[in-house]
Structure 1
Amino acid sequence: MSIPMNPGANLRGAVDLSGLSSRQPAPQAAGSRPAPSGAAPDTVRVPSLVLEGNDQNFGQFIELSSRVPVVVDLYSVRSDVSVALSPVLERLVGQHDGHLVIVRVDIDANPQLVQGLQATTAPTVVVLIGGQPMPLFQGAVPEAQLADVLGRVIEAAAQSGVAGQVVVDGAADQPAPEPELPPLHQEAYDAIARRDYATAIAAYTKQIAQQPNDREAVAGLAQVSLLDRLDGKTVDAMRSAAAADATSVDAALDVADLDLSGGHVTDAFDRLLALFPTLDPDDRDRVRERILQYFEIVGVTDPLVVSARARLAGLLY
């Protein structure tokens, strides 16, 4: 898997990048201090490899990224996939001897960063290299593939002249305890990690049967159902089918899935809502159910969901 590079992306509007140069002095990010005498010049001391970022302090981590790549984990406690991914990501970063750090950002509490980093779903993982954000992935990623991505991040950073190292200050580098998931949630996540989506769907379905108000399970079922539908399909085939028959509900649903998985939430909603009035009752039910699944994946309080829900209500009533 190659690292997606998006040079046009930036954080302006979330934080000010205008004062950054390609090589900054060692930053004082989140309690960091200059390395002790005798340390390598590209070494900076930090309290932990896992730092907490927010709308107010994120500029410090942009500065830090001029010395070492900063992996930004935009997470939400509302997403089982996100909750389970974070400790895996932290463990893998910890294997790189201070050549990577993680900044965790709660997307529910930091709207500026969500907008600036274009985080349309959780988890969204971005890397900062020399102050520039580059998207890595969204959603679930197998651990072996994630390890490969992080290795490529370090290579890309070195090629850009960002090859520093952080030194953790004493005992502050204790690994964060991995959050315990309910048994069926854990079963579902383990199945997702090995791409056994049918087992994950069954686990979430069982959890919802036992606890109908478990919103995390409802959202998890919607997420893994999306992964299952896309598994084995190719982008070219899906888009070609939709272009060949603009009236095909199956093709429209496939491309909407593709749009949503790529973070193009508005495109996914617009495609299905524009098609909705032309459909017979059975196909309307199919499309409505798919849109409701999307609401769970994106987050029912997200402004894009609120807007799409209003449009859907107008079409229904």
Structure 2
Amino acid sequence: MSDPRTTPSIFTRGAVDLSALRPTAPAKPAAPSTSAPSTSAPSTSAASPSGPGGAPGGGGPAAGIPGVTPDTVIEVNEANFQSVLERSLTTPILLDFWADWCEPCKQLSPVLEKLAGEYAGSWLLGKVDVDANPRLAQVFRVQGIPMVTAVIGGQPVEGFTGVLPESQIRQYIDAVLKAAGVSVAAPEDPRLDEADDALMTGDLDAAEAAYKKILAESPADAAAESGLAQVELYRRISGADAETALAKAEADPDDVEAQRLAADVEVIGGQAEQAYARLVSLIKRTSGDDRDAVRKHLLSLFSVAGPDDPAVAGARRALASALF
């Protein structure tokens, strides 16, 4: 889970020591043997990052996604990682740490693969199976999956853990491309670009002012509404400890403030559906001002995700059922 005390800034460089993954000197050839040849299957490790894609359950890129080719979604393993680092000198690479047993990974991976195709080679998606590549997981300090981090110019930058709404993943990707000096399409509204930049660098006051200015002029701007909701979310969790917040909520299910903070922590940690269910359940057990406060809190979390998030649609139905 992401620590809610962390600001939205993603560009902390040098936090990962990649020297442990440098290739070692080749072993000397073994002496001729008269024993029977090995019956083990040949290694499928690629020698370059343009090998087979790593979509879960298959050997290649996700089928049917426009723009996804063997060169936009690649399988990353310990054998080819040096080549991946070299590739990152010219093209940013997002590493998606996943496992076949991880259900949230199966939600995030299709979104990342779709975006990799949409951006058409301006960045590459590297799939890392943590079970098959434990050294990579250790070096990148993977504590929970799915986890996404970027490699720019051979160096890692901070990423995120958990499943985020597509709009926030786009923000992250665009920020990575900007840090790498890669030109991206100009946004339709430069005011939104300025607001998003402030949010991603942790300047919450500037981000709030920018989003409010957009909403004053364009009240129906969903992106600005989502951005403002994110600012409010980061403010609410400022100084909170994730484990403590969740433990307090677990100890007292009827503590309204504790449940609201726990829901915020879960959203930050990529567990939005769990957060929505927590608050819907609380609405069923409360009344009056408490119930209205929880309802408004839940609506603010819906705004963070945006109206197109499928989890929001399901949670809105559950909210309506709880209220009426």
TM-score range, shorter chain: 0.5 to 0.7
Q: Which residue of 2 aligns with 1:24?
A: 46
Counterpart code for 1:128: K
Q: Which residue of 2 aligns with 1:157?
A: none
Cα distance in 2, alignment partners of residues 242 and 149 from structure 1? 39
- 1:27 touches 1:63 (CA, 8 Å); kept in 2? yes
> What per-residue deviation string (whole Å, max 9, x for no partner) do you get for residues 254-286 of structure 1?
000111111112210110001102222212222
Cα distance in 2, alignment partners of residues 118 and 245 from structure 1? 37
> What per-residue deviation string (whole Å, max 9, x for no partner) do you get for residues 204-244 of structure 1?
12221211111111111112221221222111331233234
> What per-residue deviation string (whole Å, max 9, x for no partner) do you get for residues 126-164 of structure 1?
7524787964459xx9xxx999971699xxxxxxxxxxx
- 1:213 alignment partner, SS class: coil
Cα distance in 1, alignment partners of residues 278 and 248 from structure 2? 14
Q: Which residue of 1 aligns with 2:243?
A: 236
Cα distance in 1, alignment partners of residues 81 and 249 from structure 2? 43
Q: Which residue of 1 aligns with 2:127?
A: 128
Q: Which residue of 2 aligns with 1:97?
A: 89
> What per-residue deviation string (whole Å, max 9, x for no partner) do you get for residues 178-206 of structure 1?
53463542342233233221332232122
> What per-residue deviation string (whole Å, max 9, x for no partner) do you get for residues 94-116 of structure 1?
99524853599xxxxxxxx9626
Cα distance change of structure 1 residues 69 and 114 upon mapping to structure 2, 3 Å threshold: farther
Cα distance in 1, alignment partners of residues 195 and 294 from structure 2? 25
Counterpart code for 2:228: L
State the aligned residue count: 228
Cα distance in 1, alignment partners of residues 214 and 158 from structure 2? 38
Counterpart code for 1:24: A
- 2:156 alignment partner, SS class: helix
Q: Which residue of 2 aligns with 1:117?
A: 109
Counterpart code for 1:191: A
**CA RMSD, Structure 1 to Structure 2 (Å):** 4.8
Runs (5+) with no aligned partner, structure 1: 4-18, 31-52, 72-92, 105-112, 154-172
Q: Which residue of 2 aligns with 1:297?
A: 304
Q: Which residue of 1 aligns with 2:189?
A: 182
Cα distance change of structure 1 residues 94 and 59 upon mapping to structure 2, 3 Å threshold: closer
Cα distance in 2, alignment partners of residues 292 and 96 from structure 1? 40
Tell which deviates more after alignment, 21-30 or 234-243: 21-30
Cα distance change of structure 1 residues 69 and 284 upon mapping to structure 2, 3 Å threshold: farther
Q: CA deviation at 1:305?
A: 1.5
Cα distance in 1, alignment partners of residues 158 and 218 from structure 2? 42
- 1:150 alignment partner, SS class: strand
Q: Which residue of 2 aligns with 1:254?
A: 261
Tell which deviates more after alignment, 296-305 or 259-268: 296-305
Which of 156, 163, 167 is the aligned partner of 1:150? 156
Runs (5+) with no aligned partner, structure 2: 1-11, 17-40, 53-62, 97-104, 117-123, 138-144, 160-179
Cα distance in 2, alignment partners of residues 198 and 175 from structure 1? 27
- 1:256 touches 1:272 (CA, 8 Å); kept in 2? yes
Counterpart code for 1:202: A
Q: Which residue of 1 aligns with 2:323?
A: 316
Q: Which residue of 2 aligns with 1:11?
A: none
Cα distance in 2, alignment partners of residues 70 and 250 from structure 1? 49
Percentage identity across paired residues of the two chains: 26
Cα distance change of structure 1 residues 96 and 199 upon mapping to structure 2, 3 Å threshold: same
- 1:117 alignment partner, SS class: helix
- 1:28 touches 1:60 (CA, 8 Å); kept in 2? yes
Cα distance in 2, alignment partners of residues 204 and 243 from structure 1? 35
